[in-house]
Amino acid sequence: MIAIKGLAMAIAATVGVLILSACGGSEQPASTGTPSPAQATTLRLSALANKYSPTVLDVVAGKSYQLEITDITEPHTFTVTPLGVNIFVSQMRTQTSNLTVPPTAQGEMPFFCSLHVDMGGTLRIQKP
């Protein structure tokens, strides 16, 4: 919990710095010198009523995602056994976690919550 709060504060601090630098650089055109690192795509998953929705998540092998789980009212897991993914979802309301799909992964794999029998879906992995 403390680590998560610390992360939230770090993100808040980063956002603050970004806003500050955006204001300070008003005389210069948008900086195009350094390409920003590839933006991770956000995958949204609701945990409303202890069911994951949508039940199909489309991802691409080798890509990283920000998995944003919303409507959390009690602890869950986001588990994909073949990928070795087992994220503990402990924050109330919304939790964002990194999900990286290995480049060699492909096909359909079940994802599920190990705490709720009927809570799960299918991760559909496309080739890049």
Contacting residues toward Cu ion, per CB under 5 A:
76, 113, 115-116, 119
Nearer to Cu ion, 30 or 117 (CB): 117
Nearer to Cu ion, 99 or 105 (CB): 99
Least Å distance, CB 50 to Cu ion, is: 5
The DSSP call for residue 12 is H
Nearer to Cu ion, 94 or 106 (CB): 94
Rounded Cα distance between 81 and 124, Å, is 14
Length reported for the chain: 128
Contact 46, 80 (CB under 8 A): no
Least Å distance, CB 111 to Cu ion, is: 11
Q: Which of 49, 84, 87 is nearest to 68 (CA)?
A: 87
Least Å distance, CB 65 to Cu ion, is: 20
Least Å distance, CB 99 to Cu ion, is: 17
C-alpha of 32 from chain center: 27
Nearer to Cu ion, 76 or 125 (CB): 76
Q: How many CB atoms lie within 10 A of CB 56?
A: 11
Rounded Cα distance between 63 and 40, Å, is 8
